[in-house]
Structures are given as C-alpha cells and as structure tokens.
Amino acid sequence: MVLALPHSFAQISGFSQTMHDQSQPRSNHLKRHFARRVIHQARMTLELWQRLQSGVWNAQEMAALVESNRLLLRYAQRFEQAEHSQLATGINHCLNAVADNKGRLYSEVIAELNLLMQRLSRTGLRHHDELEEVVLPALRRPIYVALQDPLASKRLSMQLQSFGLFTQVFDSLDGFNSALAVRHPAAIVLDVDFTGQDCGLRFAQALQQGSAARLPLLFFSRQDADTQTRLSAVCAGGQAFFTGTIDASIVLECIERLTRIAHFEPYKVLVVDDSRAQASFTERALNSAGMVTSTLHEPNRVMSELAEFQPDLIILDMYMPRCSGPELAKVIRQSERYVSVPIIFLSAEGDLDKQLDAMGEGADDFITKPIKPRHLIATVRQRAARARSLHALMVRDSLTGLYNHTHILQLLEDACGRARRTARPLSFAMLDIDFFKKVNDTYGHPVGDRVIKSLAVFLKQRLRKTDFIGRYGGEEFAVVLPDTAAASALKVIEEIRQHFAEILHPAQPQDLFCTFSCGIAELQGSEDGKMLSKNADLALYSAKQAGRNQVALFIR
C-alpha cells in the first residue's frame, strides 16, 4: 500500500515559517508586556530607595522597600529577566542583613545597596540592553517638542534622538492635547509663543492646572525674554528657560536632571573617636540616614584613611589619648587636598572659650554631647551638601561640568593605587576631537564650545558612574576606567566614537559632524599615573597618525 503525502517537505517548511512569522509579533508583544512590568516595579523600588535616602530610615519605609523588592524579584524570575533577578536577589540579601541586625544599618550594607541600586537604575535604560529594539521605545516616556519654528523643532528632535532620547514633535495644540490624553511625557520643550504670541505660556498654565502632577516644562523664546515673561514661565511650572538658539546638549542635561529616577551618591563621613561606644552611636545615627561612614579609633591612621575613603566630612573627638582634636585638625589642614573638607568637633566640652579655640584650629562646627540623632544628621547633611557643592566648583571644568585637568590626574593616581592593592585591571583613555581648530576657525568659538559640551554630555551618558571623566585641556578629554581591561575599554570607547560621529551639530553656514581619536593604555606592574597617562597619549598620537577618527591601544 502506498501512502500519499499531503505536502512536500518544502510546503511543510513554508507553512512552519508562516506560522513562525505570524507568531513573531505576538512574541514581541509579550516581551514588551513582561519587560514593562519588571521595569515598572524596578522604578517603584528605586523611588522608595530615593525616599529613604532623603530622610531618616524607619520601619515603615523599610517594610515598603522590602515588599517592593520582593515583587521585583518575583516578576523578574517569572518573566525570565536575568539581570533584574540577580540585582533583586542582591538587594534582598542586604535587606535581610539589616533585619538580622535588628534594623541597624552599617556602612558596608549602605555601600552595597547603593551599588546595587545604581546598577538597577540603569537596567532597561541603557543603549545596549538585550531587549532594546523591543522594549525601550515602549518603555521610555517621550520628550514632547513644540516650537513655533517647525525646522527648529525637527532639528532639536533629531539631536536629542542622537543622544538616545525618544522625542515627539508637534505643530498644533490639538495634536499636543491628543498626545497628552494618551501619554504624559518625561519633559516638554515648549515655545512661549507656540501657535501665537504668549499662547505657549497660556497653554502651559492651563495644562498644569488640569494635571494631578506638575509636568517638567522647559520654555524657549527666540527673543531675549523680559522679567515678566520669565516670571510667568516659572508660575506655569517652568524648570528652565532657553533663548536664542537651543543647544541640544544643555537641554539634554536639564532633562536628565529633571527626570532622574534616583541619585545615588551618599555622603561619606569619617569618624575619629577613641571611644568605641560614642563612635558606634555616631555611626548608627548617620547610617540610619543613608550615609556611609568609616570609623577610626587610632588618630595616627587618619591621613591614610582620608586618601582611601575620601570623605565629604570629618567628625573629630576633642580629647584623645595620643593627640587632641585641634592638633589632628591642624595635621589635616596642612594637606591642600583636604583644606575644604568640613571638620566638626563632637565633644562634651562645655567651655565656650575652649570651643572657640578649637574651631580656630581649622574646624567648621562644634557639637556638644549629648546630642539627638536628628540634630546630628541635619548638621552633617547640611555641612556635607555645602562642601560637596563648593568642592565641585573647585575640581570641575566650568564649560563641561567634567573634572578639570588637575583633579582627573589626581583621580587617576588614586585609581592606580587601588588597582595595585586589589590586583584589579585599570585602563586610561585620552580623547581628542579631530580637526578642532578648523571647527573654531570656520564656525566660530561658540560652535566649538557646543561641540566640546556635546562630547562631554555623550561621555557622561554612555559611561558608568564608577568611571571618572575629565576635560584634560582644550578639546582633549581623559577617562579613568577602574576594573576595566584594555580590550573592554577599547570596545566601550569604540562604540561611543561611532555614535558620536553620527551627531549633527547645528551651525552656520551649514551643520557639521565631528569625530574624535582616542588612545588607551592599561596599567601594568608598578606603573604610576604619570606613566599610564604618557602611554595613553602615545596611543592617541598613533590614532591620529593613522588617519584620525579611530581608537588605538598602547602596545608595549
């Protein structure tokens, strides 16, 4: 008996392929749905963490964080989101450690939680997430752009998209309202004269009145606005006001500042006290407010601990067996590096004259014991915040906000020391914008400054928070990449180079593209920062000699 086959192999194969093609959209839809739930829960966890960071930790807030992370772990495991599952497991381990210690927080747990939360804040938002093509367009809230000049709207939109943002452009109020009814944006760039003189301002005022939560608004005016217009913009909820020509890199920085999910840079406090009981009290109080502490009972180790820990503030006991607090403050102040670090004396000394004498030796405040934890936390947080702001002015470049030449080299030297002690890899990259003199000569220095700022923003956006980025000088940049071998650094910088070359910079008489060259060196043996910097510079020279717009490794 002969059996007739209903289909040839090719027909069966074709049918199977058709079914696969039909199932593909559904599969992508499910991926979007599952990933959206996981990332939404991640954001809930991050928001709770941010709330804890801004105040004193308590049982209720901790319980909410534990429950949110439990849901994150559950969703991540169910929907096979490996990275979220790993991070939620780590967070859960830290929270369990807090519970086992009867709610007491200590610096190691705070530091570990901060690291995990930093990584969590970047999941689903990075440019190379495995689900990028499927998930990110659906997950990222758009930036709405509504300028009176359609060409300017389109240009700004293209530039923001080059930086990885999802934008939507409008040319009418009806279209804007229709979009708002469907989805609220991450931020709005709005012309004060959108569709008519001052119409944008009136529209914004009505928009905010009808919204449960105020939307981040960035106003724009082609002409220099008067005080009344700017005041109206502030009353309408404006967070920024741009005039003349919009610089996409400045808009991007403003948007990232307004829409940042969480900011994880806890204050670091060094406590020097020979009394273990008093030091423990101080440490517990500050840890309960999310601050990272390091405690010394031996004053003679203070300089090495300062170099390693890099605190935002120092708390000193007034009287210690081997030296007094004022004497130790003098030693600290003799180092230029720590001149601006606030020093607070914490002592039972009640004699006002002695307190004033002690502060005359370089201290910034004097707190008498006993002290309530809330008072201590408020004082330390206020002093540390002010010191951090002032320190940023001293060590950062005014144009780009990156570290300046002196400080990036200091950070490189510190990183070299850590890499040698921990036997971890360290790479250093030097970047130089190609033909930058020609850009300045052809388009003018304001355009050149915008190109420099664009690259600075691009580097901050694409590199890790653990990397250090500096403006080495002029059009040169430097990047310190801890825990990174040269091959990995090459891959990262090469990807940045390719994407930066695609950014269109607005200019007259025509827009322009810019590129950069880069040299990378990896720390070897007993090399110091100077040698590593020299090697990276030699590699940069090789990249330029080879034709520019490329990345070269230093080969020994």
Q: Is 38 exposed, middle or buried (0-12, 13-18, 19+ CB in 10 A)?
A: buried
Q: What are phi and psi of 430, to 5 degrees?
A: -120, 125
Determine the Cα–Cα distance for residues 108 and 114; give it in Å rounded to an integer.
10
Candidates 273, 235, 475, 278; CA nearest to 373 is: 278
- Give pLDDT tens digits for 88-111: 999 999 888 877 776 555 667 777
Q: Does 7 score more than 50 pLDDT?
A: no
Residue 25 has pLDDT above 60, yes or no: no
Give the H or E element holding residue 369. Answer: none
The reply to whether domains 140-259 and 268-394 share a CATH topology is yes
Work out the pLDDT band at 4, boundaries 50, 70, 90: very low
Concerning whether 475 is annotated as a catalytic residue, the answer is yes
Task: State both tokens at 120.
Answer: 């969590």
pLDDT of 388 strictly over 80: yes
User: If you classify domain 268-394 with CATH, what class do you get?
Assistant: alpha beta
Tokens at 385, concatenated = 């915040």
Q: Band the pLDDT of 427: cuts 50, 70, 90.
A: very high
CA distance linking residue 2 with residue 240, whole number of Å: 81
pTM here is: 0.62
Instruction: Tell me the β-bridge partners of 482.
Output: 426
Fold of 140-259: Rossmann fold (3.40.50)
Place of tokens 């004022």: 326
Where does 132-276 show beta strands of DSSP type E? 143-146, 167-169, 187-191, 217-221, 238-243, 268-272
Q: Are 368 and 354 in contact (CB under 8 A)?
A: no
Q: In what order do the strands lie in the sheet with 365-368?
A: 292-296, 268-272, 313-317, 343-347, 365-368
pLDDT above 70: percentage of residues in the chain: 86
Question: Which one of 475, 476, 522, 527 is the catalytic residue?
Answer: 475
Residue 275 is encoded by which pair of tokens? 């009394």
Structural domain boundaries in the chain: 24-123, 140-259, 268-394, 405-553
Burial status of residue 440 (CB atoms within 10 A of its CB: 0-12, 13-18, 19 or more): middle
Q: In the CATH hierarchy, which top-level class contains the domain 405-553?
A: alpha beta
Structure tokens at 360: 């005359």
For the ranges 120-124, 136-140, 160-164, 336-340, the one whose mean pLDDT is highest? 336-340
